[in-house]
Structure 1
Amino acid sequence: MNPTATALRAGVRRGVIELRQSLTNGADLWNHAFWPVLMLVVTYFLRDVSFGRTGFTVGALALPGILGMNAAMAMVTMSQLLTADREDGTLLRAKATPNGMLGYLVGKIVHVSGGLVVDLAIFLVPGLFLVPGLVTGSPDAWLTLAWVLALGMVAALPVGAVLGSVFSSARAQGLLMLPILGMIAISGIFYPVTALPGWVQWVAQVFPVYWLGLGMRSALLPDAAAAVEIGESWRHLETVGVLTAWAVLGLVLAPIVLRRMARRESGSSVARRREKSLQRAGM
């Protein structure tokens, strides 16, 4: 039997088990529901706020952008899970089994992707009823939503794995949130990016959050809404190009960084991190 195929199947089973556990655990269920419900509340209060003289509401423009933002935030979830598993020795155990790192990574991708779909559904389904002006009756809309989400996850998850390999402790993950929040603030999620200065628009277009939001808006908003975007266009080709570039970058770097990180893992390094964690907790 092919060892790689065996590792892939084991990884998928592991991911499904972890996803099932997260959907039956009270604390994890709270984490799944809190952010989507909070964003629903924000979107609800924006549903009647007009954006200039465009005829569109800020709520309708923001809802697809929030979907894209949540998809991009999957890289943070991946990073946090990998760092936590590195700190408690889970990665060391994976390293000790044949093709264990491959199975581990596949499992995490299945777990995070499945959880992301659940989170997006919690936000999107009631949002379709709360926010007017969305286009949901066309098969093309759902097809666009699907390919943008799939490509976005391929772009985000490997980058998250790289970030999780860089941070050696869960506490250090706090350093990651500041640039992520800054990136979200300039990416036109809650307000069209064309309202921002030109140089900020250029910076926003470097990162995947903007393109995920743009792709989601192209799926759920009428064509006339493109008038508030850069170039008054949905720019699907550019969306595919930038997200593919991030996906290639992550897929090239992730295996290299993960292998190097795994080589540095040992029982003594796990013990040192655990001891530091207990000292911080005052135990």
Structure 2
Amino acid sequence: MNSNTLYAIRLGVGRGWLEFLRGLRAPQDIGFYFVLSVGLLTYLLFNRNEPVEGTSLFLPAVAMPSILGGLVIFGGAVSTAYALAVEREDGTLLRFRAIPHGTVGFLTGHVVRTSLEAVPTLAVLIIPGMFLFDGLMFNGATGWLSVLLLLALGLVVAIPFGTILGALVRGPQQAGTWGLLPILAVVGISGILYPIAALPEWVQFIAQLFPVYWLGLGMRAAFLPDGAVVAEIGESWRHLETLGVLGVWAVLGLLLAPVVLRRMARRESGARVQARRERVLQRVP
């Protein structure tokens, strides 16, 4: 890696950090974190006395780890796709492409910002959840280390596919639609808000094709006691399978994302940016 590439990466890291700080001061971003946490905590509070069949645990203790994993995939993919679509539409990507190794710095900034955004998203659930619900962490320091590694792996899975989505859609609205709806559908069948064993077997099979289920399973294995495994498919935490499936998705995304991003960047031009701006202006009443 030459000095110019390293310099571009350093600039990208600085840009990602500044964008993260700017987001923390933005009322709409703070409102998103607040509404998200209140909604999910309210759901868990309403179901705080619902036992999980076959265990001594209640639903919040089992659902919270799954929710954290689901949020990493959801936030990493949708946030990356939307931000990339916005910056392609307003010409930011074109300006980065015009400087040496600019695309590297551009992508680095997105990775840093999206990764940092996961911290407040998860904190607004973990911190109050530790006070509201019993039994959220049985495995001590080893469990927390596993959680951190799984969350990092989840981001490695989510961000490249968010990049692919953002490069393929026409604009921010399509990024929100084609990113939000499919991921919500996958989350809905992946045992995030309730045990997956309650779903039909054919739905369980489909869920296991996607990384959301496996990240949720890994998070439950890190948070919950060994006895909770009876609520899982095959009554096993399947550690090796979890790492294997998430690893395959991560490698696939890391291989495809640079190719799709470079192809999209080569097609960018001043005329395309201007045409998109005109379409935006036409939508404004």
Task: Identify the TM-score tier after normalising by the shorter chain.
Answer: over 0.9
**1:208 matches 2:215:** no
Structure 1 equivalent of residue 151 of structure 2:
149
Please tell me whether the aligned partners of residues 69 and 216 of structure 2 are also in contact (alpha carbons under 8 angstroms). yes
Please tell me whether the aligned partners of residues 47 and 132 of structure 1 are also in contact (alpha carbons under 8 angstroms). no
Give secondary structure in 1 for the equivalent of 2:209. Answer: coil
Match of 2:230 among 196, 213, 227: 227
Match of 1:109, as an amino acid?
Answer: V
Structure 1 equivalent of residue 181 of structure 2:
178
Q: 2:207 & 2:104 partners in 1: Cα distance?
A: 33
Structure 1 equivalent of residue 117 of structure 2:
115
Please tell me whether the aligned partners of residues 12 and 110 of structure 1 are also in contact (alpha carbons under 8 angstroms). yes
Q: How do residues 75-90 of structure 1 correspond to structure 2 at under 5 angstroms?
A: 75-90=77-92
Paired positions, count: 282
Across the aligned residues of Structure 1 and Structure 2, the Cα RMSD in angstroms comes to 1.3
Q: 1:93 & 1:32 partners in 2: Cα distance?
A: 31
Give secondary structure in 2 for the equivalent of 1:187. Answer: coil
Greater displacement, 136-145 / 249-258: 136-145
Q: How do residues 244-255 of structure 1 correspond to structure 2 at under 5 angstroms?
A: 244-255=247-258
Q: Given the two structures, how large is their TM-score scaled by the length of structure 2? A: 0.96
Match of 2:53, as an amino acid?
Answer: G
Match of 1:165 among 153, 164, 167: 167
Please tell me whether the aligned partners of residues 72 and 152 of structure 1 are also in contact (alpha carbons under 8 angstroms). yes
Structure 2 equivalent of residue 21 of structure 1:
22
Q: 1:213 & 1:144 partners in 2: Cα distance?
A: 12
Q: 2:221 & 2:54 partners in 1: Cα distance?
A: 20
Q: 2:125 & 2:215 partners in 1: Cα distance?
A: 16
Structure 2 equivalent of residue 279 of structure 1:
282
Match of 1:138, as an amino acid?
Answer: G
Give secondary structure in 1 for the equivalent of 2:279. Answer: helix
Runs of 4 or more consecutive aligned structure 1 residues displaced over 4 Å after TM superposition: none
**1:241 matches 2:238:** no
Please tell me whether the aligned partners of residues 227 and 233 of structure 1 are also in contact (alpha carbons under 8 angstroms). yes
Structure 2 equivalent of residue 31 of structure 1:
32
Match of 2:192, as an amino acid?
Answer: I
Alpha-carbon shift at residue 53 of structure 1 (Å): 4.6
Structure 2 alignment gaps of length 5 or more? none
Alpha-carbon shift at residue 137 of structure 1 (Å): 6.0
Alpha-carbon shift at residue 230 of structure 1 (Å): 0.9
Please tell me whether the aligned partners of residues 71 and 212 of structure 1 are also in contact (alpha carbons under 8 angstroms). no
Greater displacement, 30-39 / 160-169: 30-39
Alpha-carbon shift at residue 36 of structure 1 (Å): 2.2
Please tell me whether the aligned partners of residues 64 and 136 of structure 2 are also in contact (alpha carbons under 8 angstroms). no
Q: 1:167 & 1:37 partners in 2: Cα distance?
A: 31
- 1:115-169 deviation line (CA, Å, top 9, x unaligned): 1112101111111111112225611110110111111111111111111101121
Q: 1:53 & 1:228 partners in 2: Cα distance?
A: 6
Structure 2 equivalent of residue 57 of structure 1:
58
User: Structure 1 residues 180 and 278 mapped into 2: Cα distance closer, same or farther (>3 Å)?
Assistant: same
Give secondary structure in 1 for the equivalent of 2:49. Answer: coil
Structure 1 equivalent of residue 72 of structure 2:
71
Structure 1 alignment gaps of length 5 or more? none
- 1:79-107 deviation line (CA, Å, top 9, x unaligned): 11111111111111111111111101111
Q: Using the aligned pairs only, state the percent identity.
A: 48
Match of 2:56, as an amino acid?
Answer: G
Q: 2:162 & 2:179 partners in 1: Cα distance?
A: 11
Match of 2:57, as an amino acid?
Answer: F
Q: Given the two structures, how large is their TM-score scaled by the length of structure 1? A: 0.96
Structure 2 equivalent of residue 41 of structure 1:
42
Please tell me whether the aligned partners of residues 32 and 115 of structure 1 are also in contact (alpha carbons under 8 angstroms). no
Greater displacement, 171-180 / 259-268: 171-180
Please tell me whether the aligned partners of residues 86 and 168 of structure 1 are also in contact (alpha carbons under 8 angstroms). no
Match of 2:183, as an amino acid?
Answer: I
